[in-house]
Amino acid sequence: MAWKAAAKLVYGTVGIDSLAGPSEVLIIADSSANPVHVAADLLAQAEHDPLAAAILLTTDADLAMKVVAEVKQQLINHPRRMLTEKAIAHYGLVVVVESLEVAAELSNEFAPEHLELEIEDPWSLLEKIRHAGAIFLGNSTPEAVGDYLAGPNHTLPTSGSARYASALSVETFIKSSSLIQYSPKALERVASAIDILATAEGLPSHADSVRLRVQDPAELERLDAEIPTAE
C-alpha cells in the first residue's frame, strides 16, 4: 500500500507501470473441476489483501456447494486466516450460471486481472473471452504458475482496466512522439475536410490555419519548393 501511495505522488512526473490492485481472480468452472483445487485458487487471491476479489462462476451447483465447504475447511489453519477471511467475506462470490457462455459474458463485464478456465475444454470458450489480464487454461494451470514461473508479466490490469489495458511490458516505459509532415498538395486535398470539422466545432482559427495556406496557388508553389525532406 505504501508503494501505491508513492506511485500516486510521482505519477505524471516519472514513468510508472500503473496504479494496480487490489488483486482479483475469476474462475469459470464446470463439473470437471476439482472443488479442492478451486477453493485453493480462490484463497490464493484472497490471501493477498482484504480487498482482493475471489469469484467463482460455475455451471455445476454441486461443485459450488463443495467449493464453499472446502474454502471454510482450508481456512481453519490458514497462516493468513484473518486477512483472507476478510477478503472472502467482502469480495468472495460463488455464482451458479446457466451455461459457460453466460459465465463468459459475466467475466467480460468484470474484466478480471486473472481468469482461470477450469473447464473440460478451455480452448472452446476462449474465443468468447474479450477482457482479462491473463487467462489460465485448464484444471492443471492455477494462477500461481503465472505468478512464479510461467513467464507472462505478473503486473496485470485490475479494477476493470483489462477492458482497455494489457500486462506490463517494455513498451509501457517507451515514450514516443508523432512525426507529421504534409506537402502543400496533400494539405490542399484535405483542407475542405478540416474546414468542415473545425467549423462544426466552432473553432474558426483552426479552419483559417489551413485555408490561408491553400487559397493562394503561388503560396502553395512557394511552400512546395521549400519543403524539407528527411535524409
Given the residues 70, 114, 116, 143, the one annotated as active site: 114
Q: CA 99 to CA 28: how far, in whole Å?
A: 10
Q: Which residues contact 58 (CB under 8 A, 6 or more apart)?
A: 27, 28, 29, 30, 33, 64, 67, 94, 95, 96, 97, 103
Q: Is 114 a catalytic residue?
A: yes
* Grid cell for residue 86: 476478510
Give kind and range of the element (H or E) at residue 26: strand 24-29
* Grid cell for residue 146: 503465472
**In a 3-state reduction of DSSP, which class is residue 187?**
helix
Q: Which residues contact 135 (CB under 8 A, 6 or more apart)?
A: 115, 116, 117, 126, 129
Report which residue type is found at 141. Answer: T
Q: CA 94 to CA 64: how far, in whole Å?
A: 7
Given the residues 113, 116, 118, 143, the one annotated as active site: 113
On whether the CB atoms of residues 145 and 136 are closer than 8 A, the answer is yes
Catalytic residue annotation? 113-114
